[in-house]
Chains A and B, each alone.
Chain A
Amino acid sequence: MSLWLNRQTTDILELPATGIKPAGGTKAAVPDELGIASVLKFVNNSENCASMAFSLPPHCNFSRDMNVLIGWATASTSGDCRWGLSYKWAAAGTNINSSADGEEISLFATNDGSYEYNRSVFTLPAPPNQEPVCIIMLTRYGNHVDDTINDSVFLVGVLLNYILK
């Protein structure tokens, strides 16, 4: 029970790995499969990327931070994965052939076990001008000293969790 009048209601947009575009060139994560899941593979000792775009509905509260949740797994039994999230808010008329908004958000995510579904959360700052489209670039820094998973990492999907007006 809330002690306050307002109750926070949230909603989720989901993109499975099949809806996520690997980045171009040598940094691209590549499509793969785990069991019945289609996934994107981010290899070890390399920097791999994938990008996606969410279009938020009008009833989203654009003045509040949002959460980007990523689901991932790896064959490794332990270790940390070094993720980075770049983002750009866009509306009609925004030049999207430009650099990301703000600094890349870093995340050191702990692996729970071999092929266990890990869920890790980035906090995404609210769009400065209530732009409804969020373009995201997700990077695994498999060559980073703090990425201690010596194996490929598989991205299952990405959720964008936002608060309703």
Chain B
Amino acid sequence: MGILIKRQGRFQSWEYQETMTSGTYSEPLRIPPFEPGQQISVSLVIDTGEGKIQFTTSGDDNIDSAIWQDWPLGACIETQSDLLLSPVTAIRLVRISGTVTMEVVT
């Protein structure tokens, strides 16, 4: 499972970046509870090809058999960003083709 990395700064802040050039699914990136109102930005960077982000609300113990849903932007061929409004258990990057990157910052 992917792990968020602590960012430098005054406030508790975290970041994550993963690029896929092969395979279909990244490891799930667990999204832990944050401070009230602390928002989570998720970007899908399309270098070449096509990809999408998925999220799950299945419990941590069921992450291996989690039910994954596409983010609202679906499969994208251009770089896109979105903002998580509510808690999720984890997100993951889905590489449909080419080279795609998921970036998360909070």
Chain A residues at the B interface, C-beta cutoff of 8 Å: 1-8, 63-65, 126, 163
Contact = CB atoms under 8 A, between A and B. Distances in A.
Contacts of B32: none
Interface stretch (B4-12, B17-25, B67-75): B67-75
A63 B83 contact: no
A119 to B, nearest CB: 19
Interface in B35-72: 55, 57, 71-72
A2 B72 contact: yes
Interface of B: 55, 57, 71-78, 82-86, 88
A65 B74 contact: yes
B62 to A, nearest CB: 18
Name the prevailing secondary structure of the A interface residues: loop
B97 to A, nearest CB: 11
A63 B77 contact: yes
B59 to A, nearest CB: 16
Given A3-B88, A7-B72, A126 B77 contact: yes
Nearest to A126: B77
Given A8-B72, A8-B73, A3 B78 contact: no
Q: Which 9 interchain pairs have the tightest Cβ spacing?
A: A5-B83, A63-B78, A3-B86, A8-B72, A6-B82, A4-B82, A6-B72, A4-B72, A126-B77
A4 B74 contact: no
20 contacts: A2-B85, A3-B86, A4-B71, A4-B72, A4-B82, A4-B83, A4-B84, A4-B85, A5-B82, A5-B83, A5-B84, A6-B72, A63-B77, A63-B78, A64-B73, A64-B74, A64-B76, A64-B77, A65-B77, A163-B74
Contacts of A63: 76-78
A126 B78 CA distance: 11
Contacts of B83: 4-6
Contacts of B86: 1, 3
Of A4, A5, A8, A65, most B-chain CB atoms within 10 Å: A4
A6 B71 CA distance: 9
A96 B91 CA distance: 43
Contacts of A3: 55, 57, 84-86, 88
B63 to A, nearest CB: 17
